[in-house]
Amino acid sequence: MKEIEFSRRAFLRHSLLAIRNSMIVLSLPAILQSVANASEATLQGNSFTTLNTEEAVELAAIAARIIPSDETPGANEAGVIHFIDNVMGTSRPEVLGPLRDGLASLQNTVRATLTERKFSELDPQQQDAILQGIEDTPFFATMRYLTIAGMFSLPEYGGNRDYAGWKLIGFEHRHVWEPPFGFYDADYMARGE
């Protein structure tokens, strides 16, 4: 999954650079189709139950900027979109409508300010700029909430795959721990304080 994602990113970056240089404008629809195919590939493993594929691709792209894939895995590798899909159909059905409205509004912003059609087709810098513009909106707050919840909840809810979220912050899930728990209590014991 990670490999596909990175290659998609690279592909997008190069494509958009090319678009800006007006070199391959005529082949844009074909490129975007292949990008969409690549995005769908990153979302495989579970079919979506509540979101449609396009919504999933777009929301996943937002989640991927909230917790990006950089030197460590991000929302994409953790499957956060599957968590979002899951809770939209279970514990947060009331959020689905506002989320769809927010996404539509975001796409309008994208269309109004940039030449590309969809948020997911922008490069990361453009995506960040768009998101910075809506940081104070309920839609962004909801996406941040859902992304974090999906990143750090039990994997059974669809996200936090391979404990990607927990590994990121140094949380190891166990039922039994024994002292010493950290550096300072180990030091305290060693010194006999």
Least distance in angstroms from the C-beta of 117 to another protein: 24
The per-residue DSSP string of 19-62 comes to HHTTSSGGGHHHHHHHHHHHHHHHTTTS--SSS-HHHHHHHHHH
Q: Which residues bind another protein (CB under 8 A)?
A: 65-68, 70, 72, 74, 91, 128, 131, 144-145, 147-149, 151-154, 157, 165-166, 168-171, 173-185, 187-188, 193
CB of residue 28 vs another protein: minimum separation in angstroms?
28
Nearer to another protein, 25 or 189 (CB): 189
Closer by beta carbon to another protein, 29 or else 191:
191
Report yes or no: 192 and 185 within 8 Å, Cβ to Cβ.
Answer: no
Residue 112 or 169 with smaller CB distance to another protein: 169
Query: 98: which 2 tokens?
Result: 């506002």
Measured on CA atoms in the order 154, 158, 160, 161, is the torsion positive or negative?
Answer: positive
The nearest distance, CB 148 to another protein, in angstroms, is 5
Alpha-helical (H) ranges within 71-137 are: 75-78, 80-89, 93-113, 124-133
Residue 29 CB, nearest approach to another protein (Å): 31
State the minimum distance, in angstroms, from the CB of residue 101 to another protein.
19
CA 1-152-175 angle, 5° bins? 115
Cβ atoms < 10 Å from Cβ of 1: 16
Half-sphere exposure of residue 34: CA atoms within 13 angstroms, side-chain side: 12
Tokens coding 121: 């087709």
Q: Which is nearer to another protein, 45 or 93 (CB)?
A: 93
